[in-house]
Amino acid sequence: MNMRKIAILLMIGCIAAACKKAEIKFTYSPTEPRAGESVKFSNLSSSGEEWEWTFGDGSTSSIKSPTYTYKKPGTYRVVLKVDKKNSLTATQEITVYDTIPTFVASDSVFYIYDDYTFTANVYNPYNYDVSYEWHFPLESEYVVCTDEDMNGSSLHCYFTKAMEEALIELTIVMMGDTTEVHHTFCVQDMATNSIYMRTGEGDYRQRIFDKRAAPAQLLAAADPLLDNEQDTMQTYNGHTFTLSEFKAFIPGIQGFHIASRKIYYRADGLWVANIDGTNQVQIDSLDCPAMTLDLFDSRICWANENGVWLMPFVGSDNNKFVTEPSQLNTLTGVTKIASDNEAK
C-alpha cells in the first residue's frame, strides 16, 4: 500500500471518529420553572443543521434554542433531535412547579399621601372564577382605599402615616383553593409645605401635598408665622405697596398679596387683577376674612364661611382661571392664614 492510500484511509478514519464524537445536549433556565413562566432551552450540540424539539405536552419547535411556557405544573420529558436522526438525540425531564398567587406594587418606594396601585398576580390561563379580598390587618387609618370596594384584582390607595412596616394582605380564592398573601412596605415621610390657620378655638397647621392634604392639626401654641402674617402692606420688586395705593381703583379692598405681577385681594369676596388694577376677576363670591400665598408651590389659600380653600396662581393675561378651587378643610371662623414656604 503506497503512502497516498494510507493518507486517504487515515483521513476517512478521522472523519468517522469525528462523527461518532458528535455531542447532542441542552440545558434550560430557570432550573425550577413555574407554570406560566418562560423557560429558555439552550442548544449546546456540537453539530447539526436541523432541530426538532418535543416538550412533553404535545408542543414542538424547530428553533435551535427555543423559549417555551408550560401552562400546567407537572414533570415533562423534553427531547431534542438533530438532523432528523434518532441517533442524534438528547433527553431530559423537566419539573414545572405550581404557580403561587401573589400581588405586586406599582412602585418600590412609598411616600405618604401619594397614589399607589397593588395588583394581584394570579396565573389563570383557563379563566377560572377568582375572588379577591384586600385587608389592612391593623385596622387603622394609616392607609386609605380610593376604590369603591376592596374586592377587585387591583387596589388603589394612599398612605397617611410614615411607617417602617405597613402591612397589606390579600385573600385569593380560585377553584375552592384559598391563598393568603401579605407584604409589608416601608412608607416614608416627604418634604411639604404647610399652612397655619387661626380660629377662635386655636391655631391649626395643615400639610399640603401634591395631590391631597393631611387633616388639620390643632397646635399646642401659637406659631410665629401667624403673628407675622398680614395682607395690608407688602414689598414687591423693591416697592412697598399699601392698601391706600389700591383703594383708588379697587374700592372696598381689605387686604392683598402680590405675586408674578398679579394682585390677589379681599373685597366682597376674593379677586385677582393685574398689578395696575386691570382685568379684575372674582375667584370666590363669599366673604373672605383671610388669605395667603404659597410662593413655593405657586398657589393661593383663603377662608370663607365653609372652610379653607386652595387654587393655583392665575397665569393668563386676562386673569381667567380654568382650575376649580379645592377645599382643604371645613374649619370655620378662620381669621388669619399664613404659609410656611420652607417645605418642611
Closest C-alpha among 165, 167, 180 to residue 133: 180
Is 263 in contact with 246 (CB distance < 8 Å)? yes
Q: Are residues 37 and 68 in the same domain?
A: yes
pLDDT value at 320 more than 90: no
Give me the phi and psi of 11, to 5 degrees please. -65, -40
Whether residue 179 sits in one domain with residue 214: no
C-alpha cell at 18: 469525528
Asked whether 230 and 239 are in contact (CB, 8 A), the reply is no
Choice between 208 and 124, residue whose per-residue pLDDT is larger: 208
Whether the pLDDT of residue 172 is over 80: the answer is yes
Residue 244 shares a structural domain with residue 180: no
Q: Quickly state the pLDDT bin for 318 (edges 50, 70, 90).
A: confident
Site of grid cell 374586592: 151
How many secondary structure helices (H) and strands (E) does the chain include?
Answer: 3, 29
Residues 165 and 65 occupy one common structural domain: no
The three cell numbers of residue 210 are 401634591
In the chain, the number of structural domains is 3
Residues 178 and 289 in one domain: no
Mean pLDDT, residues 274-303 taken together: 93
Of 124, 156, 188, the last residue of a domain is: 188
Query: At 115, is the pLDDT very low, low, confident or very high (cuts 50, 70, 90)?
Result: very high
pLDDT of 265 higher than 70: yes
Provide the CATH number for the domain around residue 178.
2.60.40.1080
Cα separation, 248 vs 146, in Å, equals: 49
* Rounded Cα–Cα distance for residues 144 and 121 (Å): 22
pLDDT band of 6, cuts 50, 70, 90: very low
Counting residues of the chain whose pLDDT is more than 70, the rounded percentage is 92
Q: What share of the chain is helix, strand, coil (3-state, %, to 5)?
A: 10, 45, 45
Is residue 258 a contact partner of residue 236, using CB atoms and an 8 Å limit? yes
Half-sphere CA count of 8, side-chain side, radius 13 A: 5
In this prediction, what percent of the chain has a pLDDT beyond 90? Answer: 62
CATH code for the domain of 37:
2.60.40.10
- End-of-domain residue from the set 158, 188, 218: 188
Mean pLDDT for 32-44 is 91
Residues 221 and 318 both lie in one domain: yes
Cβ(46)–Cβ(90) under 8 Å? Answer: no
Which pLDDT score, from 0 to 100, does residue 105 have? 92
**The residue type at 44:** L
179 pLDDT exceeds 80? yes
Average per-residue pLDDT in the chain? 89
Instruction: Return the SS3 of 10.
Output: helix
Of residues 20 and 288, which shows the higher confidence score? 288
Could you say which DSSP state residue 273 is in?
E
Is 17 a residue whose pLDDT tops 50? no
Burial of 59 (0-12, 13-18, 19+ CB in 10 A): middle
pTM, full prediction: 0.71
The answer to whether the CB of 175 falls within 8 A of the CB of 189 is no
Listed residue (280, 287, 292) closest to 328, CA to CA: 292
pLDDT for 228 = 83
User: Each residue of 128-162: pLDDT tens digit?
Assistant: 999 999 988 655 678 888 888 889 999 999 999 99
Residue 63: phi and psi, rounded to 5, are -80, 145
Q: How far apart are CA 114 and CA 212, in angstroms?
A: 8
**Is residue 1 one of the residues assigned to a domain?**
no
Predicted confidence band of residue 277 (pLDDT cuts 50, 70, 90):
confident
Distance CA 306, CA 205 (A): 18
> Strand order in 51-54's β-sheet?
60-61, 51-54, 74-82, 89-96
Pair (91, 119) in one structural domain: no
How are strands ordered across the β-sheet holding 307-312? Answer: 290-294, 299-304, 307-312, 326-329
> What is the residue range of 158's domain?
102-188
Question: Looking at the domain assignment, is residue 16 inside a domain?
Answer: no
Same domain, 115 and 89: no
